[in-house]
Structure 1
Amino acid sequence: MDDLLEQLRAGLPAEAVLTDPDVTASYAHDMASFCEAGAPAVVVLPRTVEQVQHVMRTATALRVPVVPQGARTGLSGAANATDGCIVLSLVKMDRILEISPVDRVAVVEPGVVNAVLSRAVDEHGLYYPPDPSSWEMCTIGGNIGTASGGLCCVKYGVTAEYVLGLDVVLADGRLLTTGRRTAKGVAGYDLTRLFTGSEGSLGIVVKAVLALKPRPPRQLVLAAEFADAASACDAVCRIMESGHTPSLLELMDRTTVQAVNRMANMGLPETTEALLLAAFDTPDPAADLAAVGALCTAAGATDVVPAEDAAESEMLLQARRMSLTALETVKPATMIDDVCVPRSKLGAMLAGTAEIAGKYDLTIGVCAHAGDGNTHPVVCFDPADADESRRARESFDAIMELGLALGGTITGEHGVGVLKKEWLARELGETGVELHRGIKQAFDPLGLLNPGKVF
């Protein structure tokens, strides 16, 4: 321990090395339940690439594991500390280095908060689409680590589609540059995509070149109420089959709607079994909403209400953004699933989740990026009740098993971390796991980067 601290302090300012146990304990875990977390030996907060390189060279020399972290808003335990590790927090590397309207790129450090970047590029008439629900807190580095999504993915895609290039500090301290800042480029293997979604297990992202789009018109939102989830999912299928490209297509079940109302007094319709939100940022959004409203009515919507203006639209979006937080108020703890299925199987996914809730006698609220088939069943439980905790874990696993049976994936945007390691092996298969481990060995032969995560 003395050698570790001495060597770290040789290349870091004093304020960047934290050893107070009460302070380091606050960096031990992210926001996931049922994920073990250890006690870090030290937390470091570098501000430069050179300082990150120094940390990794020290870790390699002393064979100390390193856990990279962003804002710790993750939901899979990927940022959880292991006993005796160096927690490498990148939140102090928070500079926007460049915004280029001509190249339509932004160059940023990993600690830049998603919402800060979005507002900065908006001043240039540009748009950075990926917008996780935690966008006011989560960092770009964390978004890249989990290949996160957001509300707008149905039209604009996920984080991986906007990461053009990276600077990455490898496990031994070497600096690797991947990708490009050009509109095209196919030289070599796509290492940028490999690092995106790797959850800090292959290297430390210290700079990112991100693609931007022209700022779209302000979107308008429509809210459609349904008497059952099956009808809402039918509406989703009709909308997508008809060739519409909404900028947002989100679903909230009755449990979620009621939780949002209790927390924020939003005035959402509590009698509905499923509330579908559709938005368009086209030149004539009212016309698009009218067409989608007709499809919702044909699918059985009991009420269809288009927003009158941007302010009303933003209110509906805020209601959807706070869904996960609101569901956390239902019980003392939650487990948030992240199963993505083909859109055509969305109705079966929701019906199966309801059956699982009944089987295990639990409250499971569901909000979903319906246009992507990405569901977030939220298991609400009391961790002080051993039996309820057991049922919560079993229901969580049952939901993932259901998703795989429907041709889906165990995670659409939250990542694997600690929470879903066993399920990743089931999804990938023996050969897939073997190849993943070979890649890990090539980049991190000593196994120092985020050990115990992913697989």
Structure 2
Amino acid sequence: MEPENGVAAELSHLVPNGTVLNDGPSLEKYSHDEAQWAPFAAPLAVVLARTTQEVAAVVRYAGERGIHVVPRGAGTGLSGGANSMENSIVISLELMTAIREINSADGFAVAEAGVINDSLRQTVAAQGLWYPPDPASYKTSTIGGNAATNAGGICCVKYGVTRDYVLGLTVVLADGEIAHLGRRTAKGVTGYDLTSLMIGSEGTLGIITEVTVKLLPLSGREDRAIIGYFPSLRAAGHAIAAVKAAGIVPSALELIDSTCLRAVDNWLHLGLPENVNVMLLASVDEPGSTGELLANRLASIFLTHGGSHIEQATDPKKTEKLFLARRMAYPALERLGQILTEDICVPRSAVPDMLSRIEASAAKYDVVIANIAHAGDGNLHPQIIVPHGDVASKARAKLAFDEIVTDCRLLGGTVTGEHGVGLLKLSGAAAELGQRVIDMHQSVKNALDPNGTLNPGKAFPHTHRN
């Protein structure tokens, strides 16, 4: 294997318009994402690519020398999916920030992988269009990273996740060849759906460098927020299940517990209410009397299931402030200690039971668990908080983490709803998938990446080849 400075020097010749980093602080910065507990190793070098051709050149170089390649967007992932492993080059797409096309007539946009989600949303909004997927990290995460993890978000309960909006991709394959997948048309079933195969594959099958996304009209929506406070997680869970049973599909239905609310308010001073246990924050976006009727029905359901201080808000500034509390919950909790983030998803009818089991795990292992959730689709994000340097608490937190994953599966759920398997969820994924399905994954991986060049060990439990 080449010495590290030799690798960096050779890469510099391959990416004349990009940047190659090899200093200690840069290698540390690009060696891991936001999953604080997932393993990682310093890369041999970091390439900040500017074009698809540069990405392809680096992948070819790495494949010829038996070096792994780890693709990276903004590094906002929470499962270790962008963590560098031994003998790896990290390719960052963060400099690929061009929005190449916005087609208002046909309702699509073409963006490079490094475009920030919110930048795309704001740019198309200026033309009366809307890109719905809105992960909590929408102001910092990239479109390419969103596609690689099939990111969800607050409005996905009604509008779906990233996969529902990706029409096509430009992908660099493991041999350095460039493939253009998908279409620009409203319909199309030519060949296998390789676009969907790439979405959520966490960079293990190809490196996404350009994304064609479907857009919706921005007009015709009137946001109304409905807020209710509940005495317990289980009571809030029953209200969530009742919303589903009533056949109401809100544009958002979010759960925030008191630990999250206090952490956010102590940091940002939003003036959130004190002495409350759980807040449910819902919204509907139907216009006129239809939206008003749905908002009133949600308020009635909240009240019937133990909610108090029910209020509705149509003022955009107040609505934005309330949803800011939800979006900023994770960084606010990070200020309290190390965070082990769950991403379980259970059937909506199982939400009350799952919330109770999370509380039981917190008590059993004597750990602090803060709860935030995309409650409307059963996607729960328990945040296990451990004081920095507390080794004993960290060990107990890992036990609680594993028990929550097991309980999720027992209730018919999945171990990751939107963050991806990465490295943190490999054992849970193994139990969920089973060996036959793991073998199918490995067969696909072997077909597209026979030498295991791309993002090794991520996305599913890899098996050894004969």
Q: Which runs of 5+ in 2 are unaligned?
A: 462-466
The answer for the alignment partner of 1:307 in structure 2 is 313
With the length of structure 1 as denominator, give the TM-score of the two structures: 0.97
1:90 corresponds to which of 64, 88, 93: 93
Counting only pairs closer than 5 Å after superposition, residues 383-402 of structure 1 correspond to structure 2 as 383-402=388-407
CA distance in 2: counterparts of 1:110 and 1:247, whole angstroms:
27
Query: Shift of residue 245 of structure 1?
Result: 2.0
Shift of 1:272: 2.1
Shift of 1:78: 0.5
Letter in 2 for 1:231: A
CA drift at 1:383: 4.2
Please give the alpha-carbon distance, in whole angstroms, between the structure 1 residues aligned to 2:216 and 2:41.
Answer: 41
Query: What SS does the aligned partner of 1:10 have?
Result: helix
Q: Does 1:173 align with 2:176?
A: yes
Residue 15 of structure 1: how far off its partner (Å)? 5.4
| Residue correspondence of structure 1 range 122-271 to structure 2 within 5 A | 122-216=125-219, 217-271=221-275
Cα deviation, residue 442, structure 1:
0.6
* Matched positions, count: 454
Match of 1:329 in 2: 335
What is residue 37 of structure 1 aligned with on the other side?
A: 40
User: What do the CA deviations read for 1:292-316 (whole angstroms, capped 9, x no partner)?
Assistant: 1011111121220111411111111
Deviation of residue 84 (structure 1)?
2.8
Where has structure 1 moved over 6 Å in runs of 4 or more? Answer: none
Query: SS in structure 2 opposite 1:279?
Result: strand
CA deviation string 1:8-32 (max 9, x = no partner)? 2232127511111222221110000
Q: CA shift at 1:340, angstroms?
A: 0.3
The alignment partner of 2:283 has SS state of strand
1:218/1:310 contact within 8 Å kept = no
**TM-score normalised over the length of structure 2:** 0.95
Q: How large is the RMSD of aligned CA atoms in angstroms?
A: 1.3
User: Which segment is superposed worse, 215-224 or 125-134?
Assistant: 215-224
Q: What per-residue deviation string (whole Å, max 9, x for no partner) do you get for residues 248-304 of structure 1? A: 110111222222222222222232221101101111233321121011111121220
* Residues 261-270 or 87-96, more deviating: 261-270
Give the match for residue 412 of structure 1: 417
Q: Which amino acid aligns with 1:349?
A: M
1:349 pairs with 2:354: yes
Contact 1:7 1:58 in 2 (8 A): no
Shift of 1:7: 3.5
Greater shift, 14-23 or 93-102, is seen at: 14-23
Is the counterpart of residue 443 in structure 1 residue 440 in structure 2? no
Q: Distance in 2 between matches of 1:301 and 1:98?
A: 47
In structure 1, give the amino acid aligned to 2:213: L
Local SS of the residue matching 1:315: helix
What secondary structure is seen at the aligned counterpart in 2 of 1:92? coil
* CA–CA distance in structure 2, aligned partners of residues 297 and 5 of structure 1: 62
Gaps of 5+ in 1: none
Residue 282 of structure 2: aligned partner: 278
Query: Is this contact kept in 2: 1:4–1:58, CA < 8 A?
Result: no
The aligned residue for residue 72 of structure 2 is 69
Identity within the alignment, %: 43
Query: Hey, what's the Cα distance between the residues in 2 that align with 1:67 and 1:218?
Result: 42
Q: More deviation in 287-296 or 128-137?
A: 287-296
